[in-house]
Amino acid sequence: MQSATEFVEQRRPVGGRRSSKRDFIVQVFLQQEGHLAADKLVELIRAEDARISRATVYRALQWMVEAGIARKVDFGEGRYKFEHSYRHPRHFHLICKTCTQSYEFMSSDIEALIEEVAEARHFAARQSVLQIYGICVDCQSGRRIERVTAPTEALFARDALRIAIATERSGLEFYTRAAALTGDARGRRIFRRLAAEEKEHLGKLETRYRELLTADPELESHPTFLFFKGAAHGLFAAGTAELRQGADDRQALLIGIKCERGSHKFFKRYGDRFEESEGKRIFLEFADEEREHLDLLIREYRSLLERQKTKRQPRRKARASKTRR
């Protein structure tokens, strides 16, 4: 796991001058959770070292924003707040205009739309900020309920595991069905092997999920953080639906290749994009597994084509011999 020091060094500008005061401010800032006003950070810093001026803290905050260590957020209160990005994935906010409470979330659909718009205009996007203002459910009802906010990293890991588990379950169903309908003995063994691997990995993921909830029993009650529509029911669900409509040996392999390629692309794309965190590791681990399965299916598809070609050759020779006679 990347340490906070490694995280900062990775983002430090090449050739940039070091400052012991700034490094100290960065260390204190990275220890905070949630959104922090600049004045609050000044209080925290000066409680540790009264010699550090307010201006020095402000300059350090601006340096962190430019380096990608901190994000600046406007909650409509007339002043900015800051949050660090160490093991804290980029996200969007729902902000209540009545109580100023904020709720974090991520969405693949919004990310994709931002990329699409930027690409269409040949725009090199560096940072995206989305803040949705409205009224939270508590303020709508007039009842103020004391809610405990879970760390974003924990919610991220929870939802990443949910998506991975849904994908494994759909993969297990897909390969079990593919093995049942495949006539080719070798292909059937491959599908059974993949079904067994999906089942084994599913068990490991479910164990990790239970351990996460054991560490924080209230975690499951918090709202969804990761919104990935296409992955909500498992990335192999569409492939299983295709199998139900009927598929021969070659088609079953091609459908599996399409599913594994899509799954690998999905987990790798977002895993690479996330900040260092447990959620990032879950996505990249899954991407590696899907890559291995994809390579196996591609090899088997090519082998099946060769075997079918070899079988056809004697038949052609036999037909040619009959024709000559």
What CATH number corresponds to the domain at position 225? Answer: 1.20.1260.10
pLDDT at position 210 is 96
CATH number of the domain encompassing residue 72: 1.10.10.10
Q: What is the mean pLDDT of each run of 10 residues along the chain (325 residues)?
A: 76 77 92 89 92 93 90 80 81 87 83 88 82 90 76 87 93 96 92 96 95 92 83 81 92 96 90 79 92 96 90 62 58
Same domain membership, residue 76 and residue 158? no
CA distance 168 to 199: 7
- Residue 29 placed within a domain: yes
- Residue 305 placed within a domain: yes
pLDDT at position 211 is 95
Q: Supply the pTM of this predicted model.
A: 0.76
Same domain membership, residue 123 and residue 224? no
Same domain membership, residue 308 and residue 178? yes
Same domain membership, residue 202 and residue 133? no
Domain boundary among 147, 167, 189: 147
- Residue 323 placed within a domain: no
Same domain membership, residue 113 and residue 238? no
Domain boundary among 127, 147, 167: 147
- Residue 286 placed within a domain: yes
CA dihedral 296, 301, 306, 311 (to 10 degrees): 120
Same domain membership, residue 272 and residue 234? yes
In 3D, which of 104, 208, 193 has the Cα closest to residue 162?
208
**What is the spatial order of strands in the sheet that 70-74 belongs to?**
36-37, 80-84, 70-74
Residues 6+ apart with CB under 8 A from 85: 68, 69, 70, 71, 275
Domain that holds residue 181: 152-314
- Residue 180 placed within a domain: yes
Same domain membership, residue 45 and residue 106? no
Same domain membership, residue 295 and residue 163? yes
Q: What share of the chain is helix, strand, coil (3-state, %, to 5)?
A: 65, 10, 25
pLDDT at position 1 is 59
CATH number of the domain encompassing residue 143: 3.30.1490.190
CA distance 125 to 138: 36
Same domain membership, residue 173 and residue 134? no
- Residue 324 placed within a domain: no
Same domain membership, residue 122 and residue 64? no
Same domain membership, residue 193 and residue 279? yes
CA distance 182 to 191: 9
CB-based burial label for 16 (10 Å; 0-12, 13-18, 19+): exposed
Asked if 218 and 153 count as a contact pair (C-beta separation under 8 A), the reply is no
pLDDT at position 16 is 66
Give me the number of domains the chain comprises: 3
- Residue 320 placed within a domain: no
- Residue 300 placed within a domain: yes
Domain boundary among 108, 129, 147: 147
Same domain membership, residue 210 and residue 96? no
